[in-house]
Structure 1
């Protein structure tokens, strides 16, 4: 059985693995989880204590999960797959995790969320605008899960709502290449580079910014048409085409609270320079 460590990163994928590697390099003792046996050696080679954890029965091993949670801080980074079943599987997994957390020594949670919790309000959007989600989409799964972890007396939780994730293996041009007659070409995009994601999460942990909610998107918000045409051309794929629409639905995410609270300056402020 593992002794208590400094921090556990649940979900060592595109974001969680490089974060765990950074935390190890900073001198912390780190647990990392994956659902793939193939990744266990990768974690081990990076001096991350590897755990194979699947929160879905019958694959769930409660003993392994409880051991993984012997930590002060949990970074919860499990991307929700909401389209498959409307988010019911994700909601169930998070309920299972919360039950285990209640029996653990975890006192602080850093929850990686998404700006998808906000409706398209056709204006600048701040952290308080989830009040409109309550009105327009009261069953929003991601917002329900955020609150599941925030509304607890057993720990304090900070939520970071990232915009569209870009960098590393995530090349946005692949998502739109060759598509035609796409809507909302003039809508602003809300993107963030992997390097900024990592910097922000590290800074929250280092500065002990607990009990907060932060939006995290690059400063600039080019329109979808310009961004995705540039993204496809950057990797040599066919550019998408967009409809000419008189009305556009959008949200323009503000990260001002994060920049003020963390004294943070984005390393990649302009998505048009991501490529």
Structure 2
């Protein structure tokens, strides 16, 4: 039986863990919340309360990593600063601290959940493939790009990076946060991916043993932001969104051809 440790068993990690359990994996899951430990235990996940900080890890991280075949890192940067210096790079320092424990554990395979935010928006709008050099224009994107390099350049383990577009699901859609805001770049591609496809792609990478790779995934990317949000508002029965019309749209079109070709994966949600 293979054991997978999911660092950050939250909105994506928890349903992924449940799916992996059904496929016969043993799953360890980490959370920063004590109240979730019983939830994990009740569904068959081995629970761990772990707090990853810039220069230390609080909790039994050694036990969490011990006898693990694959470590899945699914912790978002959660940054709010806009002008951090290298010394202030909280998320990067967390990853550096984690790497020391990964090396000691002897784990050979790591799957890092990153984001297409490692690519900044551009004008004119361009197509982005895995060969495109990251050019982040946000603080979280910058730190994710550095974290990707730190993990993939480490000789002690193999790391596959999966860059997801904007995450959506049955209980999550960006239009809910944009109801009372003016939406910029209405003519840019939307670049979203459903939780169901995130799980499917991760499970395919695990099954196919695809390591030392970079994949990017955006299943909903054939519509503009204007078209998608207008249709979504109609579907949900809410008022039409307001778009920024005075400034030319910039953005990026995330292509997922490598996933479709190498993993033979077909996206389940494309609109």
Give the TM-score taking structure 1 as reference length. Answer: 0.88
Question: What's the C-alpha RMSD, in Å, of the aligned pairs?
Answer: 2.4
- Alpha-carbon contact 1:34-1:51 (below 8 Å) kept: yes
Match of 1:67 in 2: 63
Is the CA contact (8 Å cut-off) linking 1:189 and 1:221 kept in structure 2?
yes
The aligned counterpart of 1:273 is none
Q: Pick from 37, 43, 46: which aligns with 1:40? A: 37
Tell me how far apart the structure 2 counterparts of residues 252 and 20 of structure 1 sit (CA, whole Å).
30
Match of 1:165 among 167, 181, 196: 167
Q: Is residue 2:4 matched to residue 1:7?
A: yes
Structure 1 counterpart of 2:144: 142
* Alpha-carbon separation, structure 1, partners of 2:58 and 2:220: 42
- Does residue 27 of structure 1 match 2:24? yes
Answer yes or no: is the 8 Å Cα contact 1:161–1:215 preserved in 2.
Answer: yes
Report what 2:108 is aligned to.
107
> Are 2:206 and 1:209 aligned?
no
- Give 3-state SS (helix, strand or coil) of 2:145's partner: helix
1:1-275 matched pairs, under 5 angstroms: 6-56=3-53, 60-61=57-58, 64-70=60-66, 71-84=68-81, 86=84, 88-121=89-122, 122-130=125-133, 133=135, 140-180=142-182, 182-218=183-219, 220-245=221-246, 247-270=248-271
Mark the runs of 5 or more structure 2 residues left unpaired by the alignment: none
Q: Residue 147 of structure 1: SS of its match in structure 2?
A: helix
In structure 2, what is the Cα distance between the partners aligned to 1:220 and 1:261?
Answer: 19
Question: Would the aligned equivalents of 2:186 and 2:243 in 1 still touch at CA under 8 Å?
Answer: yes
